[in-house]
Structure 1
């Protein structure tokens, strides 16, 4: 049982996941800092308040603080936009650049390999013909 656990922990997926969680937590604090120090003041300039927490309505004597939900939703979309702009887009560009470099590095095979492949292909087509049409 202990060796099975050791094999499970030694897999790359577990380590990758742990690194992803740690990096996500670190990135979350960066994005929260961006939202608190830059985005919320912009909202305050446009709306008059840095967030929507004070928006609420009362129905049958019950208070519904929908402003907290609106603030959480705005923060979610701002974080999603930040992740897309600062992580996803650069990673896509990097992956595309690396892929194009790999495609440019494709080298033609040596002449003897190309000749052997041509002979192989001709033998395949010759063997696919009916016996009466095979001329060696």
Structure 2
């Protein structure tokens, strides 16, 4: 019973996933600090308002806090842009440079559904090779 559990836990992808989860959790603090401590004040300096959470309106004694929603949307956009420009784009450039150095072909764009289905149809039309 424990032998199977040990084999499962020591499998490479489980350990990799655990490490990625811990690194991701640590990275969240860095990205949140970048957004909250640097980018949001920069936007406040440009547009004059940093916190929209006080914005609200009332309809029939129901309070709608749309300012908090605006804050969440701005935070999401800033975090997504930060991750893209500081993590995804540099990693893609690094991988492309590594591929060129190794003489491998550049990463191709994925096929659309129509292109993929067309290729499948064409493969099904050709008879299998005779052995």
Partner of 2:62: 62
Number of the residue aligned with 1:20: 20
RMSD of equivalent CA atoms: 1.5
The answer to which structure, 1 or 2, has the higher relative contact order (CA under 8 A, 6+ apart) is 2
Q: TM-score, normalised by structure 2?
A: 0.72
Residues 5-57 of structure 1: CA deviation (Å, up to 9, x unaligned)? 11111111111111111111121111111112112212322333212111111
| Structure 2 Cα separation of the partners of residues 20 and 54 of structure 1 | 37
Q: Which is greater in Rg?
A: 1
**Correspondence for 1:50:** 50
Structure 1's unaligned 5+ residue stretches are: 105-136
| Secondary structure, aligned partner of 2:103 | helix
Q: TM-score, normalised by structure 1?
A: 0.70
Separation (CA, whole Å) in 2 of partners of 1:68 and 1:54:
8
| Structure 2 unmatched runs, 5+ | 105-131
Cα 1:61–1:46 shift into 2, 3 Å: farther
Say if 2:99 is the partner of 1:102.
no
Are the structure 2 counterparts of residues 88 and 37 from structure 1 closer, same or farther at C-alpha, using a change threshold of 3 Å? same
Q: Does the CA contact (< 8 Å) of 1:43 and 1:51 recur in 2?
A: no
